[in-house]
Each structure stands twice: as structure tokens, then as C-alpha cells.
Amino acid sequence: MSGFPGGLRAERRERLASAMAAEGIDVLVVAGNPWRSDYLRFAIDVTLAEGQAFAFVRRDGGTRLIAENEAEAERIRVEQPEIEVSGSRSPIEATAQAIATLGPGRIALAPFAAIPCGLATEPLRASIGTATAMLDRLMLRKSPAEIDAFRRAASLADEGYAVFCKAARVDRPEYALVADVEAFFRSRGCPENFQILASGGREVRGMHPPGERRLAPGDLVTTELTPCVDGYYAQICRTLVIGDPNDAQRRAFAVYDAALEAGVAAVRPGVTAGEVAKAENEVFRAHGLGEYVTSEYTRVRGHGLGLYVDGKPAVLEDVELVLEPGMTLIVHPNTYHPEVGYFVHGDSLQVTAAGCEVVTHTPRKLFSVPGN
Amino acid sequence: MRRGLISWSRDEVAASVLDDRVSRLQAAMRKAGLGAVIAYTSFARPSAVAWLTHFVPYWNEAILVVHPAGPPVLLAAFSKRVHDWIREVSHVGEVRAAPDLGRAVVKYFDEHPAAAGRIGVVELDALPWPVAAPLIDRHGVSLVDATSVFAGVRQPADEVEIRLARRASQIAAGAFAAIPAGIRRASQLLAALEGSARLGGAEDVQLRLAADLGSEATLRRVEGDAPLANRHAVQMLVTYKAACVRVTRSLCAGAAPRSWQAAAGWLVRAGARLGEDGLATGTADPAPGRISFWQIESSLGSQPLSAVAGSQGGVAPVLPAGSLASLSVRIDLDDGPWLGGGALQVGGRAADAWIAQESSE
């Protein structure tokens, strides 16, 4: 029931083996946990629900996994019988011992974000940067099969936003909206979704997990939905008003919509992520809102998508990563607006040879739901 | 990668309860000669810090610094604009912006040296390398593992945590009751459970499913869909206000077979007798089949639940009486496998051991 097409699993493994050969790596030890399963998913097609796990990926094909959670070990054993899976309540110690018995050959650890302190010992510590960069390169530029999964996730995000709009009614608590959306995603076989939201007015400075606040007429309700299909995440950001939007809300929307359009228009091969951010931010500056594109009010102007919800590149003006065909990201000029509060608006896209293709299709408008 | 309701209800968890927990840790620190204890928190490892402060990082990471006296300090990698939300949902003395978490901790200890010199780290080995590297460079041998110091104060559970765990168990029970009759797909089952649990106020819900007990009893993380056989089993890991329980049920259309009723009855009795020595006491009452798997888990560190005893590793008498635990069991009956489990207090009064009424049919 892992649901992952075996062909894509094999394709990724082949790409990884080639990259390991190019780097001279014989055994790659890949760490993962329920938050950072992306590298593990790429390397051996495993997404963790609980505990830590460490995969030993041999360039010549053999794979071993040490999993902390016994239930995880058991189900991975069943899902992928070709992997030698063992459970250990001390997985870091067990992995260190297994590394010590590997024998000759170049061993590398990855990724930087998930390798625990207990494994980052000399001389392997020095390999973490190189191996992580190798995997990042592989994961940044998606194959057609990966793009297909991303596009299906984007379609699900569109459907999810329609469910969110229907769920947003006066007097409902924020967490009830998330309950409706999560139930919908489950009904479509979607195992993961990253979602945050906010409701209210000028006092709202950002999004967060759902609380107990109840929706009220006049509220701006923001959300970002990030469903996952076959391991790949796509995201949509939209804002709705409870009741009819007022003039300030309409004016604000016009700025964010223009910024999103400018950002998307800037995306093409050869352009840096920083140039995309600059295109978005210039719209705010032209409207006298330059202060609100700083880190005081916003985090990023978009980010990469794929096997992780918040991947590379970060879309910020100082990021020099050059976009290439096959990269997938969201452009979202989300930030605080001094007249109406925090406002979000963003679409997922893939970089193509000619420019880009937006893959979320929810209308770019300021949504409104009945205020009574 | 999901988060539901996160809020701090002072009626359910008074600030004094969190203060008491921090005080317990501070007393243990002083006894162990530690000048400070730090606990890392992230989506994957939220539990230690949540128990002390009610703070749950929904996507980023943070480190809690506890000194031998005074309120704890949270160094959070979140941007400053999230700090108001952090203060709203948690109980800490100070929140500091720490975009580069490891370096921020080093800077903090430069400004606020640990009194006794040694800094205890909860689960030092598991600290992510980007966070650990600057700390090790600066403090090296002063860093010691404080996993056992923390675990020593984490259980037994206080009354507040038992109440929250009971609510989590009730959320799970409500979700099972919300399953529509006649469903035939895994996606329908999981959608009903997920929707009900989230509406019930669950902070987090993890679902595993054995879709056809006639062919396989492995509980899987479901990605996509599958046909649902007449006999299947579901496991829910439910977190409510940082209290976590694991509930397992075998389900079938119509009345439960007599063999299942016998297994469920045995589980209730075995759990009620669960002592400090694990399931050994409970097995004095023979199970109605072969116990092919059993596991006792408890919240002892940064992960929601950690295995402390079970068929995979033997009995480890590590939980003090009154500890909150989750028991999961798989029994091979004459007519196929049966799975069950729930949350209980070990070593307490037998009649009150299960924190919510268990059943399985």
C-alpha cells in the first residue's frame, strides 16, 4: 500500500547510483525522521511516521534500514521486502556500529538537517556537506514522473481550497476548518498535508496551526494548503473574507495579486531565485509598502517544493540559485499589510524550458463567503 | 506532517502545573550537578518541551534552556512575528529569536553561563548536527547527556496529564464511533477517523491500518487507497494538548466474533494487572491465543511515545507506578489475528488502570 510507482522508485535509485559513482561514494547513510523524510524518500522510497531511521544505500544496489520504531520497521519490511530492515531502540548506536563494520570503501552521511550528533563523528563528519549537496542537486530538478506527482498534488490543493472555502463559516473555530480539509484529503488517499492558517484583522501578523478562535464577519481568513501525492508536495495560498470585502481589503488584494503575477512572470531558466523575489517585492515598494517585504514582516517570498514542504530554493532577494527546467516551487508574496493584516496569495509552478507553468488553478481572486 | 488544534487552556493545564514540572526537573538537575539542561524540540521531537512548557513547534525548531532556578528560556528559530503566538500557547519565561539555533544557544550561554559548568542535554546523541556542532565546538566536554535525568522526572504522570490522556482516548473512541456503516475503502475509514478526531480537538492524529486481517496483520501507513476487508484493524496515535495515547482496535462488519470478545476481555484484564514488570503480571491469565506482539510505550523523552518493554525486547521494569503508558497487543487466534490496545496507568489500582473504557469489536 505504499502506493509509489515502482518505476519511479527505480528511476530515482538509478540517478542516485550515478551520482554516488560521480562523487566516489560507495555507501551513503541517509538519516530521516517524521519531519525530514524527504532524503530518505528519495533514496529508498520510505516516508517515516514515527521515530528515526537510517538507510545504508550501497552504490551497487543493496539497501539496509535501521528503524527506531518497531511498527515502522515491520511495515517497511512488508512494503519493500528487498530492503534488509531491522528495528532498534538505540538506532544511533546501532547505526554507528553498522558503519564500523562496513569495511573498505568511501562512506558518506546525509542530510545535514537530519544527521544526529551521535553519528557526526570524525572522519565521516566531513562527508555530510558533500553528500547533502549531491542529494540536493538530484532533488531540485525533477524528472517527468516526479513532475507528474507534483501536478497531481497541485490539483488536490485546488480541490482542498474549495473544501476550505465551504468550511469557513461564521462562528466555526479555526480547527474545524482544518478538520474538514484533512478529512477531505484522507478521502482522496492523501497521507500528509502541511497546513497553517489565521483569521482576524490588522492584529494578525502571520499564520499558525489552528486555534480555538471562531470566525467572525469581516475577518480575513488566510491559509496555505500543502497536500502530498506519492511523496510530492504542492502548495496553494489564498485569502478569503467573511462577508463582503471592504475597500481596504480589495486594495490590498490588488497589490498581492500584482506581486504574484510579477513573481510568476519572472520565473524562467537562468533567472535566480533572488530575481523572482525582487520582482515580487518591487510591486510592494511601488505601492509604498517596501517596509513589509523585510524579515520583520515576512519570511520568504516563495520556496521550493517536492519531497519536502519547504525546500530549496528559498525565494529571497539574496539567493543566487539559478532556476532550471524541472524545478518546482511556489511563488507567494505573503506578508503583513498595515491596513488589513496578514495576507497570503500564492501558486505552485514548474520551471519549463520556455519559462514556467503554473500548476494550481484556483482563481486568483479575493474569495468571499457569507458573513451571516 | 499534520497539526490540528494547538492552544493552551489554562483551565485544563494551569501555569502552576507546568511550573511544578519545571521544578521537578530543576531538583533533579541540582542533584545531578548540572548547571543547566537544554531540550531540543521540533515537529519530530516535540514532547519533552511540550510537557515542560506546553509549546509545540508546528514546523520549525527551538531549544528550551532550564537553569537550576527560575523560569525556562525558549530560543526559537521562528521569526519574531510568531513570538506573540508562542507566548499565547505556552508558558515560558522568555522567548528569544534564534534563526541559527546552535549559534544562538552558544551566544546565550556566553551571556548566561551555566552555574555548575556542566550543561545537560536531553538526548544529546540525537541532537541534530547543525544545532550540536557550534555547542560542541564551544562547550565540548562540558556537555553531558541528561536523558536519564529528564526521564527520571517525566513519569509518573500528574493528574492533569492523565485527564488530558483520557480526553485523547475519548477523541479516539469518538472517531471509531463516527465510522459510517458499510464502507468498503480504506480512504473512507481514514477520512471518518481523521475528521472526527480533528473536530474533537486532536492536536495530532497518526493512523495505521491493516486493511485485511485475513491476509496480513501489519499496520501500515496508508498512502493512496485500498479495499477494506470485512475484518481489519486500525491504530490511532492521538495527541491532545501534548498528551499522547495509542489506541488500537480490530473492526468488522456486524457483531464481533466470540474469539474477538474473548481477546478483548483478556486485554482489559491483562492491562488492569499491568505492573512495574510489564505484561508479565498480566500473562498469569492465559491469552486466548498466541501473543505474537506486545509493546508498552510511554512518554519519557522528546518523542511522543518511546517503547519501554515488549515482545521485541523483553520486559524492562523501568516505569514507576502511576506512569502513563500505552499497551498494544496482537494475538493470533484460531480464526485469525486480533489487534487491540489503549492507554493506562501502570502499577495503579487495577480497577482504574485503563484511563478510558477499552473495547474491540
Higher pLDDT, B117 or A287: A287
Higher pLDDT, B268 or A271: A271
Per CB-CB distance under 8 Å, the chain A contacts of B187 are 186-189
What is the distance between the alpha carbons of residues A165 and A137, in angstroms, rounded to a whole number?
A: 37
What is the distance between the alpha carbons of residues A94 and A107, in angstroms, rounded to a whole number?
A: 16
- Residue B347: predicted pLDDT: 75
**A29: amino acid identity, one letter:** V
Nearest to B128 among A74, A113, A297 (CB): A113
Rounded to the nearest angstrom, the minimum Cα separation between A77 and chain B is 10
Per CB-CB distance under 8 Å, the chain B contacts of A173 are 5
Instruction: Tell me whether residues B223 and A1 touch, CB distance under 8 A.
Output: yes
Burial B95-112 (b: 16+ CB within 10 A, else e): bbebeebbbbbbbbbeee
Instruction: Tell me whether residues B2 and A182 touch, CB distance under 8 A.
Output: yes
- Residue B358: predicted pLDDT: 54
Nearest to B5 among A74, A188, A212 (CB): A212
What is the distance between the alpha carbons of residues B21 and B52, in angstroms, rounded to a whole number?
A: 6
Coil/strand/helix, residue B16: helix
Per CB-CB distance under 8 Å, the chain A contacts of B59 are 35, 194, 196, 309-310
Convert the pLDDT of each residue in B216-240 to its tens digit: 999 999 999 999 999 999 999 999 9
Instruction: Tell me whether residues B125 and A87 touch, CB distance under 8 A.
Output: no
Residue B357 scores a pLDDT above 90: no
Q: What is the gyration radius of the CA atoms in chain B, in angstroms?
A: 21
- Residue B349: predicted pLDDT: 62
User: Which CA distances in Å does A261 have to A235, A264, B16?
Assistant: 16, 5, 51
CB A40 within 8 A of CB A55: yes
**A304: amino acid identity, one letter:** G
For the segment B306-313, the average pLDDT, to the nearest whole number, is 84
Nearest to A87 among B136, B218, B312 (CB): B312
Convert the pLDDT of each residue in A73-102 to its tens digit: 999 999 999 999 999 999 999 999 999 999
Rounded to the nearest angstrom, the minimum Cα separation between A180 and chain B is 6
Calculate the CA B64 to chain-centre distance.
Answer: 19
For the segment B38-49, the average pLDDT, to the nearest whole number, is 96
For chain A, counts of helices (H) and of strands (E): 9, 17
In total, the C-beta contacts within 8 angstroms joining chain A to chain B are: 190
What is the distance between the alpha carbons of residues B131 and B144, in angstroms, rounded to a whole number?
A: 15
β-sheet bridge partners, residue B125:
none
Dihedral, CA of residue A256, residue A259, residue A263 and residue A265, to nearest 10: 110
Convert the pLDDT of each residue in A275-326 to its tens digit: 999 999 999 999 999 999 999 999 999 999 999 999 999 999 999 999 999 9
Residue B193 scores a pLDDT above 80: yes
Please name the residue that has the C-alpha cell 516526479.
Answer: A146
**Quick one: which of B104, B143, B149 has its CA closest to B125?**
B143
| DSSP-assigned letters across all residues of A176-221 | HHHHHHHHHHHHTT---EEEEEEEESTT--S-BS--SPBP-TT-EE
- Residue A2: predicted pLDDT: 41
Question: B280: pLDDT confidence band, cut at 50, 70 and 90?
Answer: low
Rounded to the nearest angstrom, the minimum Cα separation between A35 and chain B is 6
**Quick one: which of B168, B284, B185, B171 has its CA closest to B228?**
B185
Residue B350 scores a pLDDT above 90: no
What is the distance between the alpha carbons of residues A315 and A280, in angstroms, rounded to a whole number?
A: 10
What is the distance between the alpha carbons of residues B276 and B273, in angstroms, rounded to a whole number?
A: 10
Instruction: Tell me whether residues A92 and B43 touch, CB distance under 8 A.
Output: no
Question: B214: pLDDT confidence band, cut at 50, 70 and 90?
Answer: very high
Rounded to the nearest angstrom, the minimum Cα separation between B283 and chain A is 22
- Residue B360: predicted pLDDT: 43
- Residue A1: predicted pLDDT: 41
Rounded to the nearest angstrom, the minimum Cα separation between B272 and chain A is 24
- Residue A309: predicted pLDDT: 97
Instruction: Tell me whether residues B126 and A115 touch, CB distance under 8 A.
Output: no
Mention every residue, 6+ apart, whose C-beta is less than 8 A from residue A124.
A99, A107, A108, A109
| DSSP-assigned letters across all residues of B189-256 | HHHHHHHHHHHTT-SEEEEEEES-TTT----B---S--B--SEEEEEEEEEETTEEEEEEEEEESSSP
Instruction: Tell me whether residues A309 and B132 touch, CB distance under 8 A.
Output: no
Q: Tens-of-pLDDT digits for all 372 residues of chain A? A: 444 456 899 999 999 999 999 999 999 999 999 999 999 999 999 999 999 999 999 998 899 999 999 999 999 999 999 999 999 999 999 999 999 999 889 999 999 999 999 999 888 999 999 999 999 999 999 999 999 999 999 999 999 999 999 999 999 999 999 999 999 999 999 999 999 999 999 999 999 999 999 999 999 999 999 999 999 999 999 999 999 999 999 999 999 999 999 999 999 999 999 999 999 999 999 999 999 999 999 999 999 999 999 999 999 999 999 999 999 999 999 999 999 999 999 999 999 999 999 999 999 999 999 998
Nearest to A186 among B7, B42, B187 (CB): B187
Convert the pLDDT of each residue in B320-339 to its tens digit: 889 999 999 999 999 999 99
Rounded to the nearest angstrom, the minimum Cα separation between B20 and chain A is 26
- Residue A206: predicted pLDDT: 95
Residue B117 scores a pLDDT above 70: yes
Residue B58 scores a pLDDT above 90: no
- Residue B314: predicted pLDDT: 54
Q: What is the ipTM of this complex?
A: 0.95
Per CB-CB distance under 8 Å, the chain A contacts of B295 are 70
- Residue A274: predicted pLDDT: 98
Instruction: Tell me whether residues A230 and B223 touch, CB distance under 8 A.
Output: yes
Convert the pLDDT of each residue in B234-248 to its tens digit: 999 999 999 999 999
DSSP H or E stretch at residue B265 = helix B258-272
Nearest to B295 among A70, A230, A296 (CB): A70
Residue B284 scores a pLDDT above 90: no
Residue B266 scores a pLDDT above 50: yes
- Residue B35: predicted pLDDT: 96
Rounded to the nearest angstrom, the minimum Cα separation between A184 and chain B is 7
Instruction: Tell me whether residues B190 and A51 touch, CB distance under 8 A.
Output: no
- Residue B278: predicted pLDDT: 54
Instruction: Output the average pLDDT for chain B.
Output: 92
Higher pLDDT, B204 or B320: B204
Nearest to B1 among A194, A208, A297 (CB): A194
| DSSP-assigned letters across all residues of A89-136 | SSHHHHHHHHHHTS-SS-EEEE-TTT-BGGG--TTGGGHHHHHHHHHH
Coil/strand/helix, residue B6: coil
Nearest to A33 among B44, B136, B193 (CB): B44
- Residue B277: predicted pLDDT: 54
Burial A222-232 (b: 16+ CB within 10 A, else e): bbbbbbbbbbb
CB A135 within 8 A of CB A152: no
Cell of B148: 536519564
A156, A169, A182: which to substitute to probe chain B, counting the most B Cβ within 10 Å? Answer: A182
- Residue B283: predicted pLDDT: 54
Instruction: Tell me whether residues B125 and A116 touch, CB distance under 8 A.
Output: yes
Instruction: Tell me whether residues B7 and A212 touch, CB distance under 8 A.
Output: yes
Coil/strand/helix, residue A299: coil
